[in-house]
Amino acid sequence: MTKIESLWQELRQKSVGESLMEGDFRLVRLAVESLHNIQAGMDGAGNVLLAIEINSRPPEIDIGTKALEYFRHQRAGGSWLMVLRLTRNELEQVFGRLCQDLVDAAALVPSQAALINLFKQRLLLWKKLFQSGNAGCLEKFQIKGLMAELLALRSFLKSSQGGMADIVFAWTGPRKTDQDFVFSDLAVEVKAVAPTADRVGIASIEQLESATTPIQLWIYYLREAAPDENNCLCLMGLIAELESLLYSAPNGLLVFREHLLEAGYVEHECYESACFNIMKREKYLVAAGFPRLSTSIVPNGVTDISYSLALSAIAPFRIAEEGADAAS
């Protein structure tokens, strides 16, 4: 349980037998030592709140989801509160994780202007989560794809001689770029397939096309596993491992968590059983002769093309790996 969830629980216990006027709410500051005054709260109906105090009038923000309400409240001393209220109690755990992430990120911003920008950026990401209609949880195929991208990220981080934050910045898959990793001298598209797969899906022509950098295709063969199965790796455990690797790079850790939100992930008990056995990894170089579609051979007006590649057809382009690297 996060700190803000604990405070909500305390407020709920204290409110037993006490009533509030309609429109009123109780607040308690999250971190007294923090530069910014961010508070947990609860209204008379038992809805949980997050409130951020600033000196100037807050901006108007279109939430775009019925799960959250945003409103502005001027205090007696002249300061203002930007307030978020959760209206769907079943999403309280997800909301708690999101609020705690915002509080942690706010500790790194130096001014109220930067805090307001952070708040607005986070709301854009949260809106997608709450609009998903799946209690804030990813679908199975999305979990598998995210798992593969995180495995690739771990591989890059472990082989790095420094500049971990730069590697996290290069992970652009959650932002729906053409490739999942874009470095100055290399682009990498990451795929997850079942152990028995004989083909891999390509979502667009652009995924295997770049005018500026070489492209590699990384394929992870993943088998769903029970959490107590030997040698399995769970999504939540992999994320914890990556956060540990990035602990010494605060900016990289912050961006990593932002990318997780962009991918639609927030820590939730629904992911406790999201575990896999990593059977193997294969890398391919998308070079001359590689069987793929390109914009140069597609007639004008043809759009939104997806296709599959037979794994046997791309075998000649496989990059040799040895030992642990082949299954990392």
* Same domain membership, residue 117 and residue 27: yes
Q: What is the pTM of this model?
A: 0.86
Instruction: Write down which residue in 131, 161, 192 finishes a domain.
Output: 131
pLDDT at position 202 is 98
* Same domain membership, residue 111 and residue 15: yes
**Overall domain count for the chain:** 2
pLDDT at position 16 is 78
pLDDT in tens, 264-292: 999 988 999 999 999 999 999 999 999 99
Backbone phi and psi for residue 141, each to the nearest 5 degrees, phi listed first: -65, -30
pLDDT in tens, 193-232: 999 999 999 999 999 998 889 999 999 999 999 999 999 9
pLDDT at position 133 is 62
* Same domain membership, residue 42 and residue 9: yes
* Same domain membership, residue 153 and residue 47: no
* Same domain membership, residue 258 and residue 113: no
Q: Which residues of the chain have pLDDT under 70?
A: 22, 132-135, 323-328
Burial of 306 per CB tally in 10 Å (0-12, 13-18, 19+): exposed
pLDDT at position 328 is 65
pLDDT at position 134 is 67
* Same domain membership, residue 187 and residue 303: yes
pLDDT in tens, 253-265: 989 999 999 999 9
* Same domain membership, residue 102 and residue 238: no
In single-letter form, the type of residue at position 240 comes to A
> Residue 170 belongs to what H/E stretch?
helix 164-170
Domain that holds residue 101: 3-131
pLDDT at position 205 is 94
Residue 198 neighbours by CB under 8 Å, 6+ apart = 310, 311, 312
* Same domain membership, residue 161 and residue 38: no
* Same domain membership, residue 323 and residue 295: yes
* Same domain membership, residue 171 and residue 122: no
* Same domain membership, residue 228 and residue 89: no
